[in-house]
Amino acid sequence: MTEPTGLLARRNGQSSSANLADVLERVLDKGVVIAGDIKINLLDVELLTIKLRLLVASVHTAKELGIDWWEQDATLSTRARRDGLADENRRLRERLGELEGMRAGQR
Amino acid sequence: MNEPFGRASYAYAVARSFDPAQLAGVRGVDGAEVRLVRYRDLVAVVSPVPLTEFDEAALRTKLEWLPWLEATARAHHAVVDAVATSSVTLPLRLATVYRGDERVTEVLRQGYRRFRAALDRLAGRVELGVKVYTDPQAMAPAAGPSASSPGRDYLRRRRAQHRAHDDAWQRAAASAERVDATLAGLAVDSRRRPPQRQQLSGVRGENVLNAAYLVDAGRTDEFAAVARCLDAEAPGTRIELTGPWAPYSFAPPDDEEPA
């Protein structure tokens, strides 16, 4: 079982380590909806997630059907896609690190 | 007062009034300092944002840009989290923006009874997240004896993989129902949401239960201990506990009219 350090003892310091998916599903999909002055439909944003999910679902379904020959073939596309995602992830983390560094520096 | 120079007020949460000194040093979206807007015994936690970057067109574009979405979501969450350590908190949806603090006060006034009722229900309670995953180890099929041809070998391997996958999934699904029923018994309320995709969460194993529980603050240790027991009792699955969270998942439904 995995738990964040100091679970249930202190809440402080937890927010920076929370899983992005956990944070996104809460701030985009939960929380009180009161009309702001800026009309923005977050359903439009969920489209982004849904697009991601569809992409992922189609790969997943293919796997379930036994169509995974591309997994064995290093020259084929999924690996490239996976590497692309890994790259993007790394860039995001670096950027986030910078932002957090900046924020810490401002305190 | 309306914000000068095209600035708007980004609202993070509504809470029972508390000492603003407790938010000293807390930064919001774009690193701006947060402040309290008061109405009777309620406060809204806001920070200034440039209106040009938070108008409809700008928001629509930026919300689709994952690095911005991540930074903003984390900043939003960090403020909500800080508020929740100080007071009973109603987290607001991401990107709730007003044309100045005067408008925020108006919203507090209009929704006063609804906010008070929701805060009363959440007082002394926290949200805990529970996810049940299949164990990827349990999904790996055992190697069988080799068949006569590579083709047959391949098909056999595929079938074994499918069986192992189905078994692991069914075990995890049964375990998830047990986990949910048991933990819901320790909670004031519970919500189930769609399982997370691995590719979004980056977690190993397939997510079969993604639930949130509203738990009395005095019972969280018991809740965690029971979750640990359930985890130990169910081989082939893994239980992940997150939180405590501000009660995002237990906000009043949208259709409740402000009184």
Indicate the residue among B93, B122, B151 that finishes a domain: B122
Domain co-membership, B69 together with B130? no
d(Cα B72, Cα B78) in Å, to the nearest integer? Answer: 10
Whether residue B33 lies inside any domain: the answer is yes
Domain co-membership, B65 together with B164? no
Q: How many domains does chain B have?
A: 2
Total-model pTM: 0.75
**Whether residue B38 has pLDDT greater than 50:** yes
Indicate the residue among B122, B156, B172 that finishes a domain: B122
For residue A44, the model assigns a pLDDT of 59
Burial of residue B83, with CB atoms counted within 10 A of its CB: 0-12 exposed, 13-18 middle, 19 or more buried? buried
ipTM (interface pTM) = 0.85
Domain co-membership, B24 together with B117? yes
Domain co-membership, B99 together with B134? no
Domain co-membership, B105 together with B155? no
Domain boundaries, chain A: 40-106
Whether residue B259 lies inside any domain: the answer is no
Whether residue B89 lies inside any domain: the answer is yes
**AA identity, residue B68:** W
The boundaries of the domain holding residue B208 are: 126-250
Domain co-membership, B79 together with B163? no
Of the residues A5, A10, A15, the best mutation for testing chain B's interface (the one with the most B CB atoms within 10 Å of its CB) is: A15
Domain co-membership, B156 together with B190? yes
Give the least confident one: A69-78, A83-92, B14-23, B143-152: A69-78
What are the tens digits of pLDDT across the range B206-221?
889 999 999 999 999 9
Whether residue B147 lies inside any domain: the answer is yes
d(Cα B71, Cα B186) in Å, to the nearest integer? Answer: 34
Domain co-membership, B102 together with B137? no
**Whether residue B78 has pLDDT greater than 50:** yes
What are the tens digits of pLDDT across the range B226-237?
999 999 988 888
Whether residue B183 lies inside any domain: the answer is yes
Burial of residue B82, with CB atoms counted within 10 A of its CB: 0-12 exposed, 13-18 middle, 19 or more buried? buried
Of the residues A16, A17, A22, the best mutation for testing chain B's interface (the one with the most B CB atoms within 10 Å of its CB) is: A22
**Whether residue A3 has pLDDT greater than 70:** no
Whether residue B22 lies inside any domain: the answer is yes
Q: What percent of chain B has pLDDT over 90?
A: 61
For residue B3, the model assigns a pLDDT of 47
Q: How confident is the model at residue B171 (pLDDT cuts 50, 70, 90)?
A: confident
Q: B 222-251 residues with CB below 8 A of A? A: 224, 227-228, 231-232, 238-245, 248-249, 251
More confident residue, A10 or B198: B198
Query: Token pair for residue B239?
Result: 């239980």
